[in-house]
Chain A
Amino acid sequence: MNFHRTWLFSQFELTRLFATKRGWLAVTAFSLVWFMVLRYPIYNAVPFLNSPEFEGFVSQLAGTIGLNSLVSWPEAELAIFWVIALFTFPMFALFVTADQTVEDRNRGTVRFLTLRSARFELLFGRFLGQVMILAALIGLVSIATLVMMSMRESSLVGSGIIKSVAIWAKLLVTCLPFIALMSLLNLVTNSARMSIVFAILFFTIVASIITYIGDVYPMFAWLNYLIPGHHIGDITGWQSSSNFALLLPIFQAAALLGAAQFILRERDL
């Protein structure tokens, strides 16, 4: 594998989002949605979380769902942002990264590319590009949340930056298998839209069946590890042992990319 060519592919993906009119429209829409999320649910929830009157109720509720450590964060905005982002970004990633190679394959553009690069360089470069796009978007919202928090309490900026970086990294790692799943689905479907449909079917039907099999036959419970996002429950409450759970999405992404490479290597273009 040639790293320079792989890097060129990933850089080109960035220009797809940040150097085209269509890309800027998508970034604008994304920013507006998160502006609304920050302005209303998060901004309004912070006084509620910090209120001494509701402290007991909030702690009790958070304890029930395993979010005890989060409610103790003085950076309440970041705590709420973390929970919302953890459950929305993976799904968002499916849509944002839905077209990695499929449209180029339909148009025949990959034929120009594979005369100049290895198929895996194309696959991995595009994957890496999508990771960088997600990294930029998660970073954008993390910074916005941090700014909102610092407007309320500027003394929290130092600790807030550390937490923001940790949130950014954990969210990004969580999204990896979702991006890799779309890399794979791009090779077995004929359009970005069909890739999304297949992903939705996977997370509704296949994941439900796997969960059911794991519940009924515990010997097959390991199959749950095949489902991207399986680790989310283990990291939501920011438990001290949760860092180990972050290895799972990395392994899942590697396995999905391996499967994608096998398919791409064998398939006709």
Chain B
Amino acid sequence: MSTVIEVSALSKSFGAKQALSGVNFKIEQGSTVALVGPNGAGKTTLFSIICGYLKPDMGQVDILGHSPRSAALFSKLSALPQDAQLDPKFSVAKQLSFYAQLQGMDKKSALADTQRVLELVDLSHVAQSKTSELSHGMRKRVCIAQALLGNPEIVLLDEATAGLDPKNAKAIRNLIASLKGHITFILSSHDLSELERLCDTVLYLEQGQLSSHQSDLHQTQQGSYITLQMLNLNDQMQAQIAQLQGVTNVRQTQSDELVIEYTKHAEPLDLSLLTLIHKNQWTYKQIVNGRTLENQLFID
């Protein structure tokens, strides 16, 4: 895998407020990266610097071997910037095909590609509508569609599913999942379960600093942790689970959730855990191989 984005010692401040401070990370080709952090942590600032909308005070950003704003990145790097809107005076198709033409397509190919990306977000029927005639969610999906015009290598989506209804949010998640691998995605969202499903790497920003950079989100190495959500969880259940072979620690992280730490053993822990649940006629809600993103970021 090759590095597509490398950020070194990146700093940016707005007046007295330090938005980013000495941020370093690398993103590998084809990965799907979650950019997480509380409000004001610097996520949008980082997105804006990568896209070339803002200039950093210090540090370097290297994207596919080029600096942000380089002409070599046109049509290779695309983005859904937060709160950016299309021109309400023109139709969706006119604007998207214009963007495609800017990316180097001729008029015919631009129209065909516009149709393709609108179909991806299930909005081909609004191609001739002006954006002022669309709902907030539709406008958002059109903006996601513009990010997929042509063959971008890197796509940055800032709060892509914020404001979308559950059905369309799921459709966008499915779309991203289907394009994973071909495109390097960087996603910013407050929905950790969404990021957990889509991403393999997490960048956690807090007060402008990168406080966590994890690249084995889904615990591809077998073992170590199981997260168990139970109905009517009680101390007796926790004690019995702690007795299972290989379990080294059981920690209650929520009223209905246990994080079980274990070492690898002859009999897989998930099997003995399910046997225990069945034998005692307990009801479980969910078993997760590894720890949830929420636990990794906020509990550990």
| CA gap between A269 and B75 in the complex, in Å | 19
Quick one: CB contact mask for B95-118 with A, threshold 8 Å, 1 for yes?
A: 000110111000000000000000
CA distance A108 to B87 in the complex (A): 9
Report if B74 contacts A (CB, 8 A): yes
Report whether A16 and B89 are in contact in the complex, using a CB–CB cutoff of 8 Å.
Answer: yes
- How many interface residues does B have (CB within 8 Å)? 30
Query: Known contacts being A8-B98, A113-B102, A115-B74, is A20 close to B87, with CB within 8 Å?
Result: no
Instruction: Name the A residues within 8 Å of B86 (CB-CB).
Output: 109, 112
Interface residues of A in 219-269 (CB under 8 A from B): 266, 268-269
B146 contacts partner chain A, Cβ-Cβ < 8 Å? yes
Q: Is the CB of A268 within 8 A of B55?
A: yes
Q: Does B290 contact A (CB under 8 A)?
A: no
With A2-B71, A115-B78, A116-B103 already in contact, the answer to whether A20 and B89 are too (CB < 8 A) is yes
**Complex: A16 Cα to B90 Cα, angstroms:** 8
Q: Contact partner of B99 among A2, A15, A112, CB < 8 A?
A: A112
Whether A107 lies near B78 (C-beta < 8 A) is: no
Contacting residues, chain A, for B55 (C-beta < 8 A): 266, 268
How many whole Å from A168's CB to the nearest CB in chain B?
A: 29
Mostly helix, strand, loop or mixed at chain A's interface?
helix
CB neighbours (8 Å) of B146 from chain A are 112
Does residue A111 face the partner (Cβ distance < 8 Å to B)? yes
**CB-CB under 8 A for A269 and B53, given A8-B98, A8-B102:** yes
- A211 lies within 8 A of chain B by Cβ: no
A118 proximal to B (CB < 8 A): yes
Cα–Cα, bound, A127→B171 (Å)? 41
Whether, in the assembled complex, B51 has its beta carbon less than 8 Å from a beta carbon of chain A, the answer is yes
Q: Tell which of B52, B73, B77, B81 touches A108, judged by Cβ atoms closer than 8 Å.
A: B81
Q: Which residues of A contact B101 (CB under 8 A)?
A: 8
Decide if A111 touches B51 in the complex (CB within 8 Å): yes
Q: Is B83 an interface residue (CB 8 A)?
A: yes
Mark each residue of chain A from 110 to 124: 1 if its CB lies under 8 Å from any CB of chain B, else 0: 011111111100000
In the complex the two chains form, what is the Cα distance from A12 to B108 in whole Å? 16
CA distance A269 to B89 in the complex (A): 21
